[in-house]
Amino acid sequence: MEETGSTKSIPELYGSLVFNDRVMKERLPKDVYRAVHQTIKNGTHLELDVANTVAAVMKNWAIEHGATHYTHWFQPMTGLTAEKHDSFISPTGDGGVVLDFSGKELVKGEPDASSFPSGGLRATFEARGYTAWDPSSPAFIKDGTLYIPTAFCSYGGEALDKKTPLLRSMEALSTEAVKVLHLLGIDEVSHVDTTVGSEQEYFLIDKDLYKERKDLLLCGRTLIGAPAPKGQEMEDHYFGVLKPKVSEYMHDLDTELWKLGVPAKTKHNEVAPSQHELAPVFETANVAVDHNQLTMEMMKKVADKHNYACLLHEKPFEGINGSGKHNNWSIITDTGVNLLDPGATPDQNMQFLVFLMAVITAVDEYADLLRCSVATAGNDHRLGANEAPPAIISIFVGDELAAVLKSIDDGTAFKGTGKTPMGMGAAVLPHIMRDTTDRNRTSPFAFTGNKFEFRMPGSALSVADPNIVLNTAVAEALSDIYDALKDVPKENFDAELKKLLKELLDEHKKVLFNGNGYTDEWVAEAEKRGLYNLKSLPEAMPHLISEKSVELFTKHKVFTRSELESRYEIFLENYSKTVHIESLTMQEMVRKDFISGLVSYEKALTEEMSGKKAVLPSAKCTVETDVLSTLDTEADAIDAALTKLGVDTKRAESDADVLHVAKYYHDTILADMDELRRHVDAAEALIPEAYLPYPTYGELLFSLR
């Protein structure tokens, strides 16, 4: 992490380890630069001689910046990143070496793929996997290695990663959006990009305390733990003053990210104690996904340097907020227009209304797939908890747009709500104009001025998944709009377009909801409206391979049927494995760590009581007896629950059907774990810290300086 000194100014520092457009423009011959630029912009094929020149220039640049190795960097279906480093050395035959890097090595790699999840796509005897350079995401240097972002596929060309389908979905959206724009007479656009800004939440915990908890070490979340006397009820952490050491961490993190060209912008304390957030400036979806992966990696790495552990789990602590990753999403044309910008008069902005309606249609039509895209064992603990959006997908559009939509719906003229000055009651304050949309923190999918914010993704998720679904679903909605309008004669076009928008609104307005998404009334109302409420991953996953899903993804060439099926298997398997590891960890932690604390405290109490009675035969020992008897009752319950969890977990191993197994882990094992936890936490609340072999919630959450 030390390649660049910290004396540089931020503009000098920013992107200093990135082989970005500026570097290419400076160093590549003009014609080569133009060819690469074309490839990045339009996805055209890159000739080998061009690649050779780029590779040579890239290598020299990398060596100047201290690199000795290069790696193809890819994103297998684990949701993490993968890398294998090769040095640039090439022996000359006379005992020396030269540093070499060819176009072929830049463009293509062949990592042994047999140990990555493939969900049956690649039989294990066909170990070969291929990585292919993605020139649209810039290469960078980290720890003395040149990182080249790549896509990862099997010998047969099936996508084994998250980048390939994301790029395909961006292409699909671009194709359909351009068709619709041309229909609207906007002929100058030839390509659109999806833009993404993903706000990342995380917890910071003292590293030494972290190491003492097996559950945090192995599962990333606490499996037991009585609540601390203080939680987040005082609402004193959100946007609170940064603690000096935490602030130093954030500064270091920003610096490391800036060097890598990650546009880290906003940082603040979040709602829960020890919880924080980082938001970047938005970028093209593909680059934003890569940069979010780097952000998560750097958060952990920099934390380690500062003697912290960074927790990215969606629900590290029970009873306080979990962590999400808000996915801000929009579409921008190659002429620089944000298609979700309503402008001053949204009611007359047909282009905006068409794209708004396409998103509403897509989200309503494919809500189940959006739910699948954020389903993980960790995120299941968060969705529907009181700080996170419920598992029901609905859209918040705000008052002004609701009024615009209403005027479309009932055919009346739109009377603008208009921006009004906010009277803040003090003449010295500047006049601030009120935004057209207020914030609605409870909506899983909210229109926020000129973009949509999808709030269901969990903090550890690769944002590729939700964006693949979103892009493809909106592409499909646009494709339907195009088909409905493509043969309409010019003179009828406006009337037919308005009619179509009204029809779409009629059909899909059930997904619009501006109220409080956290209430029970909404759950009941959503059910009446026929909206999905898919509470867990096993419940959601069959939707991923439904005929409707297969049709959507194959039509837009984002997934083949077998690519979808492989993902279905991997998500389910991953879920079961996660819960399995949690169960084993919990059993070990309770059996070895917790019970030893419990019995040593019981022993101390008993010895204390007999000692007291020896001195004072009339002593009643009421307090000790009360505590001891409660502990004894809980100990019995713990023993029974622990035994049941052990037996049930063993039983899970014999089933072969992935969906069946995942359901079993959800229905039986998680329920067993809840029961065990209830008793452990009740007992823990009575045991002094000195007897517990692991730190408590109070220590974990409130010890940072």
Q: Which does 72 bind (CB under 5 to 8 A by kind): ligand ADP, Mg ion, none?
A: none
The one segment of 349-357, 395-403, 420-428, 450-458 that binds ligand ADP by CB under 6 A: 450-458
Residue among 183 and 264 whose Cβ is closer to ligand ADP: 264
Q: Confirm or reject binding of residue 196 to ligand ADP (CB under 6 A).
A: yes
Q: Tell me the closest approach of the beta carbon of residue 336 to ligand ADP, in angstroms.
A: 11
Burial class (CB in 10 A: 0-12, 13-18, 19+), 398: buried
Q: Confirm or reject binding of residue 197 to ligand ADP (CB under 6 A).
A: yes
The Cα 638–Cα 69 span in angstroms is: 53
Q: Would you state the structure tokens that stand for residue 179, as one six-digit string?
A: 């068709």
Q: What is the 3-state secondary structure (H, E, C) of 327-350?
A: EEEEEEECCCCECCCCCCCHHHCH
Residue among 326 and 556 whose Cβ is closer to Mg ion: 326
Q: What is the 3-state secondary structure (H, E, C) of 449-504?
A: CCCEEECCCECCCCCHHHHHHHHHHHHHHHHHHHHHHCCCCHHHHHHHHHHHHHHH
Residue among 213 and 326 whose Cβ is closer to Mg ion: 326
Backbone region of residue 144 per phi and psi (left: phi > 0; alpha: psi in -120 to 50; beta: other values) = left
Q: Which does 195 bind (CB under 5 to 8 A by kind): Mg ion, ligand ADP, none?
A: ligand ADP
Q: Tell me the closest approach of the beta carbon of residue 268 to ligand ADP, in angstroms.
A: 8
Q: Which does 443 bind (CB under 5 to 8 A by kind): ligand ADP, Mg ion, none?
A: none
The Cα 618–Cα 612 span in angstroms is: 9
Which amino acid would we find at residue 477?
A
Residue among 142 and 326 whose Cβ is closer to ligand ADP: 326
Element (H, E) at 7: none
Residue among 159 and 262 whose Cβ is closer to ligand ADP: 262
Total of residues contacting Mg ion (CB under 5 A): 2
Q: Tell me the closest approach of the beta carbon of residue 326 to Mg ion, in angstroms.
A: 4
Which of the residues 221 through 280 are near ligand ADP (CB under 6 A)? 266, 279-280
The one segment of 133-141, 366-374, 445-453, 681-689 that binds ligand ADP by CB under 6 A: 445-453
Strand stretches in 74-144, DSSP E: 85-87, 89-91, 97-99, 108-109, 129-133, 139-142
The one segment of 323-331, 390-398, 408-416, 470-478 that binds ligand ADP by CB under 6 A: 323-331
Q: Would you state the structure tokens that stand for residue 277, as one six-digit string?
A: 């957030």
Residue among 450 and 630 whose Cβ is closer to ligand ADP: 450
Residue among 255 and 327 whose Cβ is closer to ligand ADP: 327
Q: What is the 3-state secondary structure (H, E, C) of 360-420?
A: HHHHHHCHHHHHHHCCCHHHHCCCCCCCCCCCECCEECHHHHHHHHHHHHHCCCCCCCCCC
Q: Which does 450 bind (CB under 5 to 8 A by kind): Mg ion, ligand ADP, none?
A: ligand ADP
Element (H, E) at 701: helix 697-702
Q: Tell me the closest approach of the beta carbon of residue 439 to Mg ion, in angstroms.
A: 9
Residue among 283 and 318 whose Cβ is closer to ligand ADP: 283
Q: Which does 281 bind (CB under 5 to 8 A by kind): ligand ADP, Mg ion, none?
A: ligand ADP
Which residues, other chains included, contact 293 with Cβ-Cβ below 8 Å and sequence gap of 6+?
75, 80, 81, 462
Q: Tell me the closest approach of the beta carbon of residue 448 to ligand ADP, in angstroms.
A: 6
Residue among 443 and 462 whose Cβ is closer to Mg ion: 443
Q: Confirm or reject binding of residue 643 to ligand ADP (CB under 6 A).
A: no
Residue among 19 and 282 whose Cβ is closer to ligand ADP: 282
Q: Tell me the closest approach of the beta carbon of residue 349 to Mg ion, in angstroms.
A: 25
Q: Which does 197 bind (CB under 5 to 8 A by kind): ligand ADP, Mg ion, none?
A: ligand ADP
Q: Tell me the closest approach of the beta carbon of residue 677 to ligand ADP, in angstroms.
A: 32
DSSP 3-state assignment of 529? helix
The Cα 232–Cα 269 span in angstroms is: 12
Residue among 118 and 440 whose Cβ is closer to Mg ion: 440
> Partners of 202 in the beta sheet?
276
Residue among 162 and 326 whose Cβ is closer to Mg ion: 326
Q: Confirm or reject binding of residue 338 to ligand ADP (CB under 6 A).
A: yes
Which amino acid would we find at residue 465?
D
C-beta nearest to Mg ion: residue = 326
Q: Confirm or reject binding of residue 291 to Mg ion (CB under 5 A).
A: no
Q: Tell me the closest approach of the beta carbon of residue 199 to Mg ion, in angstroms.
A: 5
The Cα 602–Cα 226 span in angstroms is: 18
Residue among 139 and 279 whose Cβ is closer to ligand ADP: 279
Burial class (CB in 10 A: 0-12, 13-18, 19+), 45: exposed
Q: Which does 465 bind (CB under 5 to 8 A by kind): ligand ADP, Mg ion, none?
A: none
- Rounded to the nearest 5 degrees, what angle is found at the Cα of 611, between the Cα atoms of 605 and 616? 120
* Closest residue by Cα to residue 270 from 202, 195, 371, 356: 202
C-beta nearest to ligand ADP: residue = 197
Residue among 82 and 196 whose Cβ is closer to ligand ADP: 196
Cα 74 to the chain's mean position, in Å?
A: 17
Q: Would you state the structure tokens that stand for residue 470, as one six-digit string?
A: 């979103």
Q: Confirm or reject binding of residue 38 to ligand ADP (CB under 6 A).
A: no
> Scanning the structure block, which residue is given the tokens 């007359």?
348
Which of the residues 277 through 316 are near ligand ADP (CB under 6 A)? 279-282
Q: Would you state the structure tokens that stand for residue 686, as one six-digit string?
A: 């009575």
Q: Tell me the closest approach of the beta carbon of residue 705 to Mg ion, in angstroms.
A: 28
Q: Which does 97 bind (CB under 5 to 8 A by kind): Mg ion, ligand ADP, none?
A: none
Which residues, other chains included, contact 353 with Cβ-Cβ below 8 Å and sequence gap of 6+?
346, 347, 404, 408, 501
Choose, by CB under 6 A, the member of 330, 351, 459, 514 that binds ligand ADP.
Answer: 330
Q: Tell me the closest approach of the beta carbon of residue 386 to Mg ion, in angstroms.
A: 17
Q: Confirm or reject binding of residue 566 to ligand ADP (CB under 6 A).
A: no
> Partners of 206 in the beta sheet?
308
Choose, by CB under 6 A, the member of 293, 328, 443, 578 that binds ligand ADP.
Answer: 328
Are 229 and 322 in contact by the 8 Å Cβ rule? The answer is no
Q: Tell me the closest approach of the beta carbon of residue 10 to ligand ADP, in angstroms.
A: 18
Binding mask 300-329 for Mg ion (x = CB under 5 A): --------------------------x---
Which value, to the nearest 10 degrees, does the dihedral of the CA atoms of residues 543, 546, 548, 550 take? 110
Choose, by CB under 6 A, the member of 175, 450, 533, 560 that binds ligand ADP.
Answer: 450
Cα 254 to the chain's mean position, in Å?
A: 19
Residue 519: half-sphere exposure toward Cβ, Cα within 13 Å: 7
Q: Which does 137 bind (CB under 5 to 8 A by kind): Mg ion, ligand ADP, none?
A: none
Q: Tell me the closest approach of the beta carbon of residue 226 to ligand ADP, in angstroms.
A: 32
471-498: b (≥16 Cβ within 10 Å) or e? bbbbbbbbbbbbeebeebeeeeeeeebe
Total of residues contacting ligand ADP (CB under 6 A): 17
The Cα 564–Cα 373 span in angstroms is: 12
Which of the residues 194 through 253 are near Mg ion (CB under 5 A)? 199
The one segment of 193-201, 399-407, 570-578, 583-591 that binds Mg ion by CB under 5 A: 193-201
Residues in contact with ligand ADP by CB under 6 A are 195-197, 199, 266, 279-282, 326, 328-330, 338, 450-451, 453
Residues in contact with Mg ion by CB under 5 A are 199, 326
